[in-house]
Structure 1
Amino acid sequence: MQLNFGFSVGRGLSRWMKCALASLALASAPFAGTAQNLFAPAIIVNDDVITNYELGQRARFMALLRAPGNPEEEAREALIEDRLRAQILEEFDVIVTPEQLEQGMSDFAARTQMTTQEFLGALAQGGVEPETLREFVRINLGWREYIRGRYGEQARPSQAEIDRALANDPSSGSVSVLLSEIIIPFTPDNLPQVEQLANEIAGLNSYDAFSQAASQYSASETRNSGGRLDWLPINNLPEQLRPVIIELNPGETTQPIPLPNAVAIFQMRGIQEIAGGTPSYSSIDYATYMVPGGRSAEAQEAAASVLGQVDRCDDFYGLPGIDAPGVFQRQSQAPGAIPRDIALELAKLDQNETSTALTRSNGQTLVVLMLCGRTAAVNKDATRDDIGNFLTQQRLQSYADSALAQRRADALIVEK
């Protein structure tokens, strides 16, 4: 967890500080509320006093650092929160060593491209005492250590959570489509008949007729539900298919779409736009396991046995005979490089879900297909460690905010 100072302290700030120092030097009086009774209580937080002097110091400090908002108002809030943090640190015996404090001050000064002494000198010109910086850094360092120690284990993401984060692009928006499908396999012997049937189905113009045809002719696992698919993000579909689908009106069907060993026909049932929806993907990780026998009862039983032994893609590696040529393959490919029939099946799957709808070798081999994961284009250069660290920091910050909010809700705060 990084130091959270409540505002951004950017590089190149030294030039700004020179201008700010000049402005502050022109001010003949301290910040409002500090001219009289400097050491009188201004705020009491659970019996801990915040003086007018401290308020003035923090306001000047925040003004020099170009913190957003009104410096005096922000100083009051910041000091109240610091007192609450300090009380928690005292309860849990969290101590910042002199060495840690000096390093923390050095790190903070480096954000303005200064050494600690140069930074303290600049603050002194603006009327800010070294103790103001020292206490500010001490509280933040101690708070960071407390949050890490108390919530660090809970904040670590699981591998599944990292997978989901890799597949997510929160900045994107998308369209989702509600489709029905019919997948008709063919062999060289029955190809003319399949083509004729597919053309007839493509001419259907009612939901019921398409559903009946799916139940009768489709080899897809959706045949038991009349070919009906759930809502699919359009970006899950193969890139070449998206323009064809997006042009359909509800009730319309595509022309037959050739696939390896099959043809596909889709009917549009609905379309909706999702705000902040689904990402574009840079790669898709999937596994295929080949079962001889095609769609025979024996092959279906063997496939069911395989599926009973695997919950995720890594489980395939524990199956017997996995190293035999042509049995198992796991690969990560750009969406456009994936065979169209596999891409269509993957579009329907969530991570670690499977399909046995496809065949190879002219229908003589049944394909057990599993989606291992998707990587959003925005995350293509991110490693799993990068994502894991980001999620951990995000959660630690959330825990820190919650802990402080709860302490504040329970606190007695009196402003003079």
Structure 2
Amino acid sequence: MPDTLSFRASLIGLALVVLAVFQIAAGPALAQSPFSAVRKVGDRVITEYDVSQRIAFLELLNASATDIRAEAISRLTAEAVQRNHARRMGVRVTPDELVEGMAEFAGRADLETEAFIAELADGGVDRESFEAFVEVGLLWRKIVGPELGPTTNVTATEIARARDVAAIRGTKRVLISEIFLPADPQYADPVAQIVGLIENARSIEEFSQIAREYSLAGSRERGGRLDWVALEQLPGQIGGPIGAAEPGQIVGPIELSGAIAFFQLRAVDSTRDIPAERVKLTYKRLLLPGGRSPETLATYADIRDRVQHCDGLDPYAAGLPDGSITDHEALMQSIPQSDAVELARLDRFETSANTVEGDNLVVLMLCRRELEQDPRPRDSQIENSLFNDRLSARSDIMLDELIADTVIVDY
């Protein structure tokens, strides 16, 4: 066990060389010929150059993969399969379509095509790699649309359900700090000592101080502190533990490519809590005579078993006094409390009958629970969004099947 001075010297030495060590941690791949084969997919060969180009492209796009090389190879493999399938189908992309596709992609970054290509070149990505990336996307779009589009349907019920507050995706943002340490065997002893310091950190400031002194990450000058990030953007290996952590809790060690990582959750912000003043309910209210008598409760049991949608409640008002069944549309905050409490627990087309009004059993049925939006999305917009999501999911399954049927050889 080193004494205090030698241990401190080891840590200082580590802090001075750690960035250089991390830069060469990519391993033997850097020493290979750029034209050496990495993988053969059907009759297409993925070279080391292809992989290096895709890694550079992913880094420019801020990809969050924990193993970016594996991610690059995986994507290139899928694209090779897509190209092979396009060739068998006789699908091609014209020069004009390629120009339009490149302009569309560059436009997402608010850049003209040539300006975007210049930015890519500064990051080490050549024009041909970008063209190939866009081309395969266009090929796949041409295949998926005619092949899967006609059998991909969106119903009116699904459009209505998509408007429900329950279907509105909330976002959870987190503030985290990070520490990255080298995984190189020659630094195992000093790293083990630093790991002990991290695991014994008792405050956010103490964790940040350790990050300033020993972390490999570019955030070290900020004490490892990162800005707000959506939890869903973090890879599962990190996002899962972070999502379950409490502020101040340290997550790690997590083994990444060439590094050991620790994260500390500093704060959480959720936008899923939608304020009541923006939630609009549409519901039916049926007054059944007899209060909680056995006959009335039997009628309600029949309603619960048979009625599948709001229009199905109307026949039960036949023969009852006028006003026994009413339609309501109101913001959550303006609904009478007795009804609001019941409706808050219901999903679309569910019923409740826990209250009485005079000699009547109050049957409530929720028809819609929507977020009041300005402007309100048109049904056609929601339909297009649902269609695209469904088509994308089906195309992913189709691609997985094509990959499974392809002979793939690693070198």
Query: What is the TM-score when the length of structure 1 is the normalising length?
Result: 0.51
How far apart, CA to CA, are the structure 2 residues paired with 1:356 and 1:86? 59
How far apart, CA to CA, are the structure 1 residues paired with 2:383 and 2:147? 18
Aligned 8 A contact 2:290 2:296 in 1? yes
**1:147-296 mapped onto 2 (5 Å cutoff):** 147-152=144-149, 153-154=151-152, 156=154, 159-160=157-158, 162-163=160-161, 166-168=164-166, 171=170, 282-290=279-287
**1:38-77 mapped onto 2 (5 Å cutoff):** 38-68=34-64, 73-77=70-74
Say if 2:124 is the partner of 1:107.
Answer: no
- Aligned residues: CA RMSD: 4.7
The aligned length equals 280
1:390 deviation in Å? Answer: 4.6
What is the identity, as a one-letter code, of the residue corresponding to 2:72? A
What does residue 375 of structure 1 align with? 370
How far apart, CA to CA, are the structure 2 residues paired with 1:128 and 1:349? 53
1:48 deviation in Å? Answer: 1.6
What does residue 78 of structure 2 align with? 81
Q: Identity of aligned pairs, percent?
A: 31
How far apart, CA to CA, are the structure 2 residues paired with 1:100 and 1:330? 52
Q: Relative to structure 1, is the Cα distance of residues 279 and 94 closer, same or farther in structure 2, using a 3 angstrom cutoff?
A: farther
Structure 2 unaligned blocks of 5 or more? 1-26, 173-270
What does residue 221 of structure 1 align with? none
Higher helix share: 2
1:303 deviation in Å? Answer: 7.9
What does residue 131 of structure 2 align with? 134
How far apart, CA to CA, are the structure 2 residues paired with 1:341 and 1:53? 68
Deviations 1:16-55 (A, max 9, x none): xxxxxxxxxxxxxxx9868876555432111222234433
How far apart, CA to CA, are the structure 2 residues paired with 1:37 and 1:336? 67
Say if 2:339 is the partner of 1:342.
Answer: yes
Structure whose CA Rg is larger: 1
**1:14-33 mapped onto 2 (5 Å cutoff):** none
1:397 deviation in Å? Answer: 3.7
Q: Relative to structure 1, is the Cα distance of residues 334 and 78 closer, same or farther in structure 2, using a 3 angstrom cutoff?
A: same
1:137 deviation in Å? Answer: 0.4
Aligned 8 A contact 2:101 2:138 in 1? yes
How far apart, CA to CA, are the structure 2 residues paired with 1:310 and 1:384? 28
2:92 to 90, 95, 99: 95
What is the identity, as a one-letter code, of the residue corresponding to 2:368? G
What does residue 405 of structure 1 align with? 400
Secondary structure at the counterpart of residue 115 of structure 2: helix
Aligned 8 A contact 1:157 1:392 in 2? no
Query: What is the TM-score when the length of structure 2 is the normalising length?
Result: 0.52
Secondary structure at the counterpart of residue 96 of structure 1: coil
What does residue 144 of structure 1 align with? 141
Secondary structure at the counterpart of residue 114 of structure 1: coil
Aligned 8 A contact 1:61 1:128 in 2? yes
Structure 1 unaligned blocks of 5 or more? 1-30, 174-275
1:108 deviation in Å? Answer: 1.3
1:105 deviation in Å? Answer: 0.3
